[in-house]
Amino acid sequence: MKSSLRAITLDLDDTLWPFAPIGERIESTLHAWFEAHSPRTAERFPIAEMRALRERVMLEFPELAHDLGLLRRLTIERALRESGDDPELASAAYAIFFRERNRVDFFPDAIASLRRISAHLPVAALTNGNADLVAIGIGDLFRFELTAREYGAPKPDTGLFREACQRLEAEPGDVLHVGDDPRVDMAGAARAGMRTCWIDRGLHAWPEAQPPADLRVTTLTALADWLESGAPLKKVA
């Protein structure tokens, strides 16, 4: 099976870096910015209230589930309006969000392993998030980045996976998708006809009713080792 692989698609959040610290830093840095530039917003929407407002905005606009950046921008604008402040401040606040969103602390195995993997096969990023690979500084290791925002629907929508395969000029069965989430990454890729590699970062339990991935690893180093070994794919729970 491995000999037919022509490319790899790779999830980003919680695959190359943990997202939770990024989310916490975004919230604290934005709140500090509001304290300095829109005190009424900071007072009306402390971190917990801002988080609740964002959840309400997401529920209000389910058709925008594929565009997390826009939902963040709408949340900021709503907070400013409801606080009686100038919504024009949203652009500056969003710039703070974008900067912090793209300050990532990679898993220790990520960068060296990604370089090894990309030396073997073309790698494309496939993400529901809004990380910018160029801003992060690793754009050169990817053939391209395909986001849910660009495609118009989030994983596990099979169309997103198939679009990536088309751009890679490869049949789905010749592409290995690597990600941390069994339901979002593995199930969606499998339904699209792709091979699957679950990187088990300890964040998700494998659903009992879901067929196993073709490969399970706990680090990207193990995936790079597997690629270099020439070992076949095996179904693993």
Take residue 20 and report the two structure tokens written for it. 């939770």
CB 169 within 8 A of CB 144: no
Residue type, 12: L
**How is residue 23 written in tokens?**
């989310």
Residue burial 96-131, b: 16+ Cβ < 10 Å; e: rest? bbbebbbebeebebbbebbebbbeebbbbbbbbbbb
Compute the half-sphere exposure of residue 108: CA atoms within 13 Å on the CB side of its CA: 1
Residues 164/154, Cβ–Cβ less than 8 Å: no
- The answer to whether 200 is a known catalytic residue is no
Given the residues 11, 13, 174, 185, the one annotated as active site:
11
Residues that are catalytic: 11
